[in-house]
A and B are shown apart, each in its own frame.
Chain A
Amino acid sequence: MTDAVVPTEQVAGKSLWRDAWLRLRANRAAMTSLFLLVIIALACVFGPMLSPHPYDRVYQAYVKVPPSVSPRPSDAEVERALETALRRGGVEIEGAVVEGGVVQVTLTSEREIDPRVTRLIDRSDVFSEASVLSQSTDGRRLVLSAMVNQNRFLMGTDQNGRDLLTRILIGGRVSLTIGILATLVALAIGVTYGAISGYMGGRVDNMMMRIVDVLYSLPFMFFVIMLVVFFGRNFVLMFIAVGAIEWLDMARIVRGQTLSLKRREFVEAAQAMGVRTPAIIRRHIVPNTLGPVVVYMTLMVPKVILLESFLSFLGLGVQEPLTSWGVLISEGAKNIQGASWLLIYPSLFLAVTLFCLNFIGDGLRDALDPKDR
Chain B
Amino acid sequence: MSKISLIIKREFVAKVRNKSFIVMTFLSPLLFVAIGVFVGYLSTMKADQKTIAIHDESGMFVREFKSDDEFKYVDFTSIDTKVLKDSIINESYEGLLLIPKEIAKDSLSNKIQYISNDSPSVMFVEDLENVINTKLTQENYTKAGLNVNAIQNAESKVSISLAKASGEAALKGLNEIKIAIGGAFGYLIMMFIVIYGNMVMRSVIEEKVSRIIEVIISSVKPFQLMMGKIIGTSLAGILQFLIWALLGLTAMFVLSSVFGIQMGASSGVNAEAVQAAQQEMGGSLALYIKELWNLPIATILISFILYFIGGYFLYSSFYASIGAAVDNETDSQQFLLPIIMPLILGVYIGFFTVINDPHGTVATTFSMIPLTSPIVMMMRIPFGVPLWQIAVSLILLYGTFFLVVWFASKIYRVGILMYGKKPTWKELYKWSKY
Partners in one complex: no
Q: Which residue numbers of B lie inside 8 Å of A, CB to CB?
A: none
